């Protein structure tokens, strides 16, 4: 019985990590109203985790910052975070596998900010590099929890045989 409880806990933790790996950040701005909204959500669950609003004029920088994560073996792998600075507070919008993709997204946002023909700015981030590891870990824990829950060990089979003989 305790094995099933542990398996259920592993399954639920895996499910939570899996859905948190799908975290998406959306930026929406209206230049005419001088208003922006930055929201973190999990689209698969239709759940908004955090939402902040600020003035469009408070946006100072849109940059690509280099980060490092563990890779296969003992190596390290670089990725880039698209960061928005509002009132000296950095907000990560998206993580990109290389600098070129990050710069392309940053340039698009900077163009929308600078050129007057854009009245609104809509930017929806994709599942980032840093989130892929969470999705993989969550899926592995889901599989492990499911396997532990439904697999019968040799001890359980012997117990069932003894109970049926009595």
Residue 99: phi, psi to the nearest 5? -65, -35
Contact 39, 51 (CB under 8 A): yes
Could you say which residues of the chain have pLDDT below 50? none
Contact 37, 51 (CB under 8 A): yes
Q: CA-CA distance, 6 to 9, in Å (whole number)?
A: 5
Q: pLDDT tens digit string along 75-88?
A: 888 889 999 999 88
Give the dihedral of Cα atoms 80, 120, 41, 128; nearest 10 deg. Answer: -20
pTM: predicted TM-score of the whole model, two decimal places: 0.70
Q: CA-CA distance, 158 to 137, in Å (whole number)?
A: 34
Beginning with the edge strand found earlier in the chain, give each strand of the sheet holding 47-54 in spatial order.
47-54, 35-42, 24-30, 120-124
Distances (CA, A) of 83 to 29, 92, 143: 16, 4, 34
User: Residue 134: its pLDDT value, please?
Assistant: 79
Q: pLDDT tens digit string along 93-104?
A: 888 888 999 999
Chain center to CA of 37: 19
Residue indicated by tokens 């994560």:
69
């Amino acid at each position: 019985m305790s094995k099933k409880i542990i398996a259920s806990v592993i399954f639920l933790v895996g499910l939570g990590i899996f859905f948190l790996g799908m975290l998406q950040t959306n930026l929406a701005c209206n230049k005419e109203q001088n208003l922006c909204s930055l929201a973190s959500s999990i689209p698969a669950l239709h759940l908004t985790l955090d939402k902040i609003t600020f003035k469009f004029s408070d946006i100072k920088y849109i940059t690509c910052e280099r980060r490092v994560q563990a890779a296969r073996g003992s190596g390290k792998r670089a990725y880039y975070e698209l960061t928005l600075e509002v009132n000296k507070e950095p907000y990560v919008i998206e993580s990109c596998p290389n600098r070129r993709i990050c710069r392309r997204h940053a340039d698009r946002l900077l163009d929308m900010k600078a050129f007057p023909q854009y009245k609104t700015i809509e930017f929806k981030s994709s599942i980032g590099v840093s989130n892929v590891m969470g999705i993989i870990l969550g899926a592995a824990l889901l599989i492990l929890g499911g396997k532990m829950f439904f697999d019968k060990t040799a001890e359980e089979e012997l117990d069932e045989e003894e109970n049926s003989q009595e």
